[in-house]
Amino acid sequence: MQAGLAPDVAAMAGLLSVDFATNAIIEEGRDQAMRAAFGSGSTVRHPEISASGSRACRPSSYPTLVSLASDLTDTDAQARFRFGINVLITGLRA
């Protein structure tokens, strides 16, 4: 509220921030589990949407999803976290 937000917006922003941080921690743990299971060089987070187009995600059936596969399976959690924080801050400033 010190930033000029209405009380209801401040409350929702606080809850959203907690949700965002909680998910970031969960994702970090998932990444660690993937590395432990598949080795430190594991880069495919979600093999069902890999660029190779597995049976679960054929290019002919899901062309947009398959074309975004490398971005959707990017393992740079820090970049996703920074992006998310920027989106939250930009949205709250609007």
User: Which contacts qualify for 3-12: CB closer than 8 Å, 24 or more apart?
Assistant: 3/92, 5/92, 9/92
Domain boundaries along the sequence of the chain:
36-94
Residue 16 has pLDDT above 90, yes or no: yes
Residue 53 has pLDDT above 50, yes or no: no
Q: What confidence category does residue 46 fall into, taking pLDDT thresholds of 50, 70 and 90?
A: low
User: One-letter amino acid identity for 37?
Assistant: A
Work out the average pLDDT over 44-61: 59
Work out the average pLDDT over 65-78: 78
